[in-house]
Structure 1
Amino acid sequence: MSSPFLLRHGAFLRFWLGQTASSLAYQMLVVGIGWQMYDLTDSALSLGLIGLAQFVPQLLLTLVAGHVADQYNRRVIVIVCRLVLAGTMGGLVYANLSGQLSPAIIYVCGALMGATRAFESPATQALLPNLITPDQFPRALALTSGTREATVIAGPALGGLVYLIGASWLYGASVVFFLVSALVLLSLQYEYQAPRKEPASLKSLFSGIHFIRDNPVVLGAISLDLFSVLLGGATALLPIVARDILHTGSWGLGLLRSAPALGALLMSIWLARFPLEKRVGKTMFYAVALFGLATIVFGLSQNLWLSMGALLVLGASDMVSVIIRSTLIQLETPDAMRGRVSAVNYIFIGTSNQLGEFESGITAAWFGVVPAIIIGGIGTLAVVALWMKVFPALTHRDKLSS
C-alpha cells in the first residue's frame, strides 16, 4: 500500500507533503483569483487575461529556469519559489485589507506566479529522482500524481468555501500552505552533489531540446502526449456539452469536470499498488488509444452518466500515459540534464493544453461540437498508429528503467 511506502522513505515523505500543500494552495487560488477578478470587472476577457499573465512569463523563462535547475541546489530553488509565492499571496492579503486591490494588482500577482512556477516546476521534477532509486520511481510518481489529482478535486471546493468568509482569508490560507510546503522541504535530507558549473549560453539553454531530439524514446513520449492532448482536448467544450447536449445545469457541469480527475486519481492509486513492470511502451500507446476511444464515446453520448463514464476512463487512461512518459523522461535523462529536459517537457505540456483548448474551440466553430469531439478522438487514434511506426524504440520498450 502507499502509506508504508511513504513511511519507509523519509525524504520522499517530506517531498510528498510539500507537494501536497503547494498544490492545494494553488488550486484554491485558481478559484479565488478568478472569482474576485470577475467581481471587480464583470468581464470574461479579464479572466482570460489572468491566464495570459501567468502563461507568458512561464513560456519566456522556462528554458532559463531549466538551466538554473541543473546548476544549483534544486531543493533550495523549490523552497525559494514557494516563499516567493507565499509573499505574493501576502501582497494580495494586504491589498484586500487595505482596500487597494485592483485588476492591475491581480495581473501583476498572476505574472509573478507564472514566473515563479517556471522555476519551480523543472526543479521539482528533477529533484524527485534524487530522493529514491529508479525502481521506486514509478510508484513514487503515481503517489505524487494521484495527490495532485486529489487536490484538483478538493482544492477548488475548499477555496470556494473559504472565499465565502472573505477573499483575504482564502489568500491567507494559501500563504500558510505555501509556507508549510517550504518548511517541510527545509528538513529534507538527501545526498546532494554540487553540479559542475556551466556558464549560461544559447547552447546550454537549448541543450534540453537537443537531448530530446537525439533520444527517440524521450522524443516519442513527449510528442505523443503533445499531439494526443492537442487533438483530444474535449474537456474545453464541457460547458457547451453540459447545457446544449446533455441538458443539465451547473451541478452536471461540476460532475463532468470532476470525472477525469477522479479517474486519474483512482488509476494512480492502482499504479501505486501495482507498478507497471513490462511492455511499458505498448501499454503507453494502448492507454493513449483508449483516451481517443473514450473521447469518441463522450462525443457521441447524449446521457450524463455515460458521458461521466467516458470522462472517467479518459482520465484513468491519461494517468497511465502520464506515469509512463514522466518516468521514461526522468530515468532516460542524466541527472545533470534533468532540469533542462524537464523544462522543455513543461513547455510542451503547457502548450498542448493551451493549444488543445484553442483547437477544440476552432473545430467546434467550424463543424459543430459533436463532430469536433469525434474528430479529435479519431485524430488521437491516428497519431497512436503513426507514432508506433515512427518510434519503434518506444513501441518495443519493455521496462521503465533501461
Structure 2
Amino acid sequence: MEEATTRAGGPADGPLLANRDYLLFLVCRGCTMAAFQTMSVAVGWHVYVRTGDVLNLAYIGLFMFLPFLLLFLPAGLLADRVDRRLIIAGAAVLHAAAIAMTGLWLSSGRAEIWPVFAFLFLDGIAQAFLYPATQAMLPTLVSRKDFPRALAGMNTVTKTAHLGGPAAGGLLIALIDTGVYAVIAALYLLGSAAVYRIRADLSIRTSEPFGMQVLLGGFRHILRTRTVLAAISLDLLAVLLGSVMGLLPVVASDILEVGPEALGLMRATPAIGALIVGLALARYGLPGHAGRIFFAALAAFGLSIVVISVSTVFWVTILALAIYGGSDMISVFIRHTLVQLGTPDPLRGRVSAVNAVSINASNQIGDFRAGVMAAIVGAPAAIAIGGVATLAIAVAWAQLFPELPKMARL
C-alpha cells in the first residue's frame, strides 16, 4: 500500500485563513491560473492576427493537449510517489520558460509560426505534471471537515483568475503587445516560489512495487465507481462537442467586429458567470436533486452555445457566455466533490491525472474540433452544431446512466 502524509496526525481543524500552507497554495493556484488564462488570450490573438488562418487556432489546442494525452499516466503516478510541492514548483518554472520563449519568438518579427506550437507543446508538458499534483495536494493541507470550504475557496480563486486573466490579457496586448508574455512568465515564477514555501511534510512513502496495475490505478478506481464514471465522461463529451472558447477570436474579429479589449472581456465573461454560481454553491451548497440539477445545467450549457452561434449583438453574446460559464461551474462542483472525497489519498494523483485528461480534452481538443469545423463550414455553423450535439449527448447519458439523474445528494 501507499501512504502520503502531511503532518503528524494529519492537518488539524481550524480557521482556513490561519492555515499558512493553504494560503500559500491559494497564491500558487491564483498565479498559475491567471498566467494560463492570460496566455490563452495572448497566443490566440497573436497567432490569428499574424496568420489570419482559423485552423491555427485548432493547432493551439492540439499542441497544448498532446502532452496531457502522452504523459497523464506517469504524471499521475509521480504525484503519488514524489513530494507534490516539488512537482508543482518545477512545473511552474517550466511553464515560465516556455512562455518566455514564445514571447521572444513573437517579438522577433519572424514569419514562421511553427516554433510557437513547439513552445506550446513544452508548456503542455509542464501543465501535464502540474495539474494532478495540484489537485491531489489540497486534501493533504486541510482536514476532511474543512475540505468543502477549502475547495470552495480554491474554486473562488480559480474563477477570479479566469475572470482577471483574460481581461488583463486583452488590456496588456493593447498596451505592450508581446510584452504580455513577460508578465505571464513572472506570474508562473511567483506561483512556484509560493508553493515551494509550504512547510507541510508532503513526502510520499510507498511499499507497493511498480507495475502496470499500479500505473492504471486511477482508471480502475473510476471504473469501479459508476456515478463518477458517468459524470466525468458526460462532462468530457459535452464540452468536447460544445467548446466555443477557441473560436472567440473569430467571433470577436469577424462576426462582432470588436478588438482585443472586447475579446478579453468575452474570454472573462464565462468566469463571471462561474464565479457568481461558485459563490452561491460555497454559501448554500446544492438544494438536493443533484442529478437533476446536473442535467439542467447541461441543457443550459448547450442552449447558451446555440445563442452564441446566432448572435450578432455584442451584449447578447456576453449574456450567453455568462450562462455558459455558470452552468459549467455546476458540473465542475459536482464532479470535483465526487472525485476528491471519493478517492483515497494514495490514489489521488492518478485519479486527478485521469480527471485532467477529461478537463483538458474538453477544452483543448474541443478547441481543435471547433477550429477544424469552422474551417470547413464556418464559425457560426461549427458553434451551433456543437451546441445541438451537447444537448443530444446529455439525453443519451441520462438513458445510459439512469442513476445519475436520480442522484439526490452528493
TM-score, normalization by structure 1:
0.82
> Which of 237, 243, 258 does residue 249 from structure 1 map onto?
258
1:154 is aligned to 164
Q: Could you tell me how far apart the structure 1 residues matched to 2:382 and 2:46 are?
A: 33
Identity among equivalent pairs (%)? 39
Which piece of structure 1 moves more, 282-291 or 153-162? 153-162
1:20 is aligned to 30
| Per-residue Cα deviation, 1:99-147 (whole angstroms, up to 9, x for no partner) | 9998676444333221111111111111112222345434433332333
Task: Work out whether residues 65 and 365 of structure 2, in 8 Å CA contact, stay in contact via their aligned partners in 1.
Answer: no
TM-superposed CA distance for 1:370, in Å, is 5.4
- The CA RMSD measured in Å over matched residues stands at 3.7
Structure 2 residues without counterparts, runs of 5 or longer: 1-13
> Which of 63, 66, 72 does residue 56 from structure 1 map onto?
66
Task: Work out whether residues 76 and 133 of structure 2, in 8 Å CA contact, stay in contact via their aligned partners in 1.
Answer: yes
Matched, 1:324 2:334: yes
TM-superposed CA distance for 1:197, in Å, is 4.3
| Per-residue Cα deviation, 1:15-50 (whole angstroms, up to 9, x for no partner) | 1111111222333334555666679x7574666555
**Matched ranges for 1:96-175 at <5 A:** 106-159=116-169, 161-162=171-172, 164-165=175-176, 167=178, 170-175=180-185
Task: Work out whether residues 29 and 171 of structure 1, in 8 Å CA contact, stay in contact via their aligned partners in 2.
Answer: yes
> Which of 187, 200, 204 does residue 197 from structure 2 map onto?
187
Distance 1:282 1:136, change over 3 A: farther
TM-superposed CA distance for 1:191, in Å, is 5.8
> Which of 178, 203, 219 does residue 209 from structure 1 map onto?
219
TM-score, normalization by structure 2:
0.80
| Per-residue Cα deviation, 1:163-189 (whole angstroms, up to 9, x for no partner) | 64474x544433432232122223324
How many residues get paired? 394
**Which structure would you say has the larger RCO, counting Cα contacts within 8 Å and 6 or more residues apart?**
2
TM-superposed CA distance for 1:331, in Å, is 1.3
SS at match of 1:71: coil
Which piece of structure 1 moves more, 286-295 or 212-221? 286-295
Which piece of structure 1 moves more, 178-187 or 324-333? 178-187
Matched, 1:377 2:392: no
Q: Could you tell me how far apart the structure 2 residues matched to 1:51 and 1:115 are?
A: 13
TM-superposed CA distance for 1:63, in Å, is 1.2
Matched to 1:383, the amino acid is I
Distance 1:9 1:396, change over 3 A: farther
Task: Work out whether residues 138 and 276 of structure 1, in 8 Å CA contact, stay in contact via their aligned partners in 2.
Answer: no
Task: Work out whether residues 65 and 361 of structure 2, in 8 Å CA contact, stay in contact via their aligned partners in 1.
Answer: no
Matched, 1:77 2:100: no
SS at match of 1:278: coil
TM-superposed CA distance for 1:378, in Å, is 3.7
SS at match of 2:408: coil
2:5 is aligned to none
**Matched ranges for 1:84-95 at <5 A:** 84-89=94-99
